[in-house]
């Protein structure tokens, strides 16, 4: 991952991603491409906010990497909520291009599995974006994942299934795809709100 993006994560979430001390995170770094920055950022945001709010044990990430085409976010010391967040972002990574963050799927090439959009099916070079754009994507992702997890009672599998299934209210795009649209996250949050209201009405 681009060093600037790694620095943003480590400086925003020093408790979750310690860069000093025994077993520190810096040893491995982030062994994946920039396209998953939004997912990793969202996971860190949710996990750290949860720890700050509830006073539950501080989770510490030990390794964040790509494996078999998907994201692996290894951490220790977390509770059930942390497990749900980690499972959710790992599942969603298979539907997000590791190079550019656009909707994608697991594709096989020369025996290697990787999550790629159509455009990057043959590419191995990361796509360059402004840092501010990556952060704004991360913020949108965090807001949507938080709301969606709550909607599905923190069931990561159900949350992931909903986020990657076409929704009529979004013109048959999946909520994850719709996040790519300008201000698309607002539509997705509104939809979650409507479902919540409908369910409790
Ligand atoms: Zn791509």
Host domain of residue 21: 3-200
R_g of the chain, CA atoms, integer Å: 16
How far, in Å, is the centroid of ligand 1 from the Cα of 152?
Answer: 29
CA–centroid distance, residue 12 to ligand 1 (Å): 26
Residues 6+ apart with CB under 8 A from 147: 189, 192, 193
- The predicted pLDDT at position 164 comes to 97
Query: Distance, CA 99 to ligand 1 centroid (Å)?
Result: 5
According to DSSP H, which parts of 55-130 are helical?
80-93
Distance 118 CA to ligand 1 centre (A): 7
Between the CA of 117 and the centroid of ligand 1 the distance, in Å, is 4
- pLDDT tens over the chain, length 201 residues: 988 999 999 999 999 998 877 666 666 679 999 999 999 999 999 999 999 999 888 999 989 999 999 999 999 998 999 999 999 999 999 999 999 999 999 999 889 999 999 889 876 676 678 899 999 999 999 999 999 999 999 999 999 999 999 999 999 999 999 998 878 999 999 999 999 988 544
Residue 182 Cα to ligand 1 midpoint, Å, equals: 17
Report CA(37)–ligand 1 centroid distance (Å): 13
Domain count across the chain: 1
């Amino acid at each position: 991952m681009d060093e600037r993006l790694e620095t943003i994560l480590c400086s925003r979430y020093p408790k979750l991603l310690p860069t000093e001390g025994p077993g520190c995170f810096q040893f491995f770094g982030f062994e994946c491409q920039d396209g998953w920055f939004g997912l990793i950022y969202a996971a860190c945001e949710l996990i750290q906010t949860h720890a700050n709010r509830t006073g539950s044990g501080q989770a510490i990430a030990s390794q964040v990497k790509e494996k078999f085409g998907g994201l692996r976010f290894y951490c220790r010391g977390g509770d059930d909520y942390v497990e749900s967040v980690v499972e959710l972002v790992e599942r969603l990574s298979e539907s997000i291009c590791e190079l550019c963050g656009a909707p994608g799927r697991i594709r096989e090439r020369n025996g290697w599995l990787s999550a790629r959009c159509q455009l990057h099916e043959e590419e191995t070079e990361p796509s360059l974006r402004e840092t501010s754009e990556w952060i704004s994507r991360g913020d949108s992702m965090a807001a949507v994942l938080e709301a969606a997890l709550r909607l599905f009672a923190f069931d990561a599998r159900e949350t992931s299934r909903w986020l990657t299934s076409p929704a009529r209210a979004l013109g048959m795009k999946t909520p994850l795809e719709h996040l790519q649209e300008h201000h698309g996250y607002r539509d997705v949050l509104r939809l979650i709100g409507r479902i919540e209201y409908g369910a409790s009405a």
